[in-house]
Structure 1
């Protein structure tokens, strides 16, 4: 049985997700106001006894119910357009990571450094440790510095996949023969989980994603260690 907590968005870990949450609340408030208004009008229609046998038209009420929805759409459209431009902006990324979707795992290449590339597979159940999450943990995580602009280039080697991290507000398709781009910033350190969100075949549910956000000093040490391997 679903609880209210499971129906909510994940806690935001990036400025983009914060803006998405604000827009979600703004739109939901508009919908609640419309629902209450329409419900009240319908109740009044059902229970009043007002009649007018010679009523043929009502120009004023027709103008009102035409103008009000237009104004409501403007209140939704303007924040939406602003958010679209914010999500699409890539401004001086600190590092670039290329992601390639396969059936059914992810490959990562750190384009700014030599010899840093690896595959990321889901940890099988029989190899899991007590602290691992079933169907969510992977053997190689994507490591990024927190409070830094990250540019992600996404493509696919076979079918359409979708690289998704809900808490970072990131979701973009990995299409074969096409290179998509997205950017994000992590507000804090931690592990952020996601899964392929495009139905890509029999093992679609078994290609999770983990982004590990760490201090930039530790990130530099991690890069140096990876380049030595």
Structure 2
């Protein structure tokens, strides 16, 4: 299991890289093999890596493709990535790594956010488009891989765990009565988009969301 985090600003200021670093550090147990940060103007990503498929540094995350102008932070496993890779190669795409993360990135470039319809696996990812400043967040059909959100009028933060979101600071930690009711009624299960905190939400399963910086 890996961990991803990030922030995108809506007020024209630079992303808070220190907050992203704190979120990333809080997820060290999720990814003990490597840590990475990416920052470009209004957007910043962090990632904790557990090496599974491509063990080389070429698959280090956040993974940046400067030719396509895309950056991805990914957590999960795409079971049909080899078939998708061959299809993308036939369409003219070239790969510099051998894992599934780059396949997701290229699939997004080829087919847009609807590429999630073609992914067979468990995943949560964030993709930043350099030229448009657009951020896309996505989560697998069953919600196996988590993705927590904290949004204010000025920025959106996201991470693979609730403690990571809280590590960034500046989050409303008052109890959400709806989330607490679910927690007490369903034996600690809180259905999305709720959490037990007012200032934190979960991206629902089988969902992608697009944000404009």
Q: Tell me if TM exceeds 0.5.
A: no
Normalised by the size of structure 2, how large is the TM-score? 0.22
Q: From the two aligned structures, give the one with the greater strand fraction.
A: 2
Normalised by the size of structure 1, how large is the TM-score? 0.21
